[in-house]
């Protein structure tokens, strides 16, 4: 289940059904349990900057943060993966620079964060190549045109 925290001010610009589809396709591609869940919070630069400073020591706004918190609910058996936070303002800015829709950017960031919750990373070149491959595969399945969206800095 995708638990979405979405302020009304952003709701009309985000297709929640597409995010749910991205979640289902991501679970399928990653081989995660169908009863997996996570919480996605769409917020602004101010709040994501606070999270980034508190958890990563970075005093700047970022596009997406992943907080792995994997556990199984003993009552329901639900596999909780963790929490994602996406800055709508950062996503909109990146979409403008890239010349694409903010929805496509939000989906890219969501899939990217989901991969981090599933244990993927992109610090090493081999990890980067695998994470990019899987991310692109999920994005293709949901009809998202953004490919190769992970930057690798040597």
Confidence of residue 150 (pLDDT cuts 50, 70, 90): low
pTM as predicted: 0.94
CATH number at 112 reads: 3.40.390.30
Q: Is residue 152 part of a domain?
A: no
Beta-carbon contacts of 20 under 8 Å, excluding residues fewer than 6 positions away, are 2
* Counted domains in the chain: 1
Determine the structural domain holding residue 126 and report its residue range: 2-141
pLDDT digits (tens, 9 = 90+) for 81-92: 999 999 999 999
pLDDT digits (tens, 9 = 90+) for 33-52: 999 999 999 999 999 999 99
Q: Is residue 146 part of a domain?
A: no
> Which candidate, 90, 14, 84, places its Cα nearest to that of 46?
90
- pLDDT at position 58 is 94
Q: Is residue 112 part of a domain?
A: yes
Residue with tokens 């800015």: 93
């Amino acid at each position: 289940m995708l638990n979405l925290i979405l302020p009304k001010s952003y709701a009309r610009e985000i297709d929640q059904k597409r995010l749910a589809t991205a979640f289902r396709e991501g679970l399928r591609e990653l081989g995660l349990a169908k009863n997996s869940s996570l919480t996605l919070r769409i917020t602004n630069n101010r709040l994501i900057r606070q999270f980034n400073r508190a958890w990563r020591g970075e005093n700047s706004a970022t596009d997406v943060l992943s907080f792995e918190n994997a556990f199984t609910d003993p009552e329901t058996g639900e596999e909780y993966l963790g929490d994602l936070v996406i800055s709508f303002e950062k996503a909109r800015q990146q979409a403008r620079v890239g010349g694409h829709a903010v929805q496509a950017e939000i989906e890219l960031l969501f899939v990217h964060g989901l991969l981090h919750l599933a244990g993927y990373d992109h610090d090493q070149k081999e990890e980067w190549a695998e994470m990019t491959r899987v991310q692109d595969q999920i994005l293709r399945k949901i009809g998202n045109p953004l490919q190769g969206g992970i930057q690798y800095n040597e």
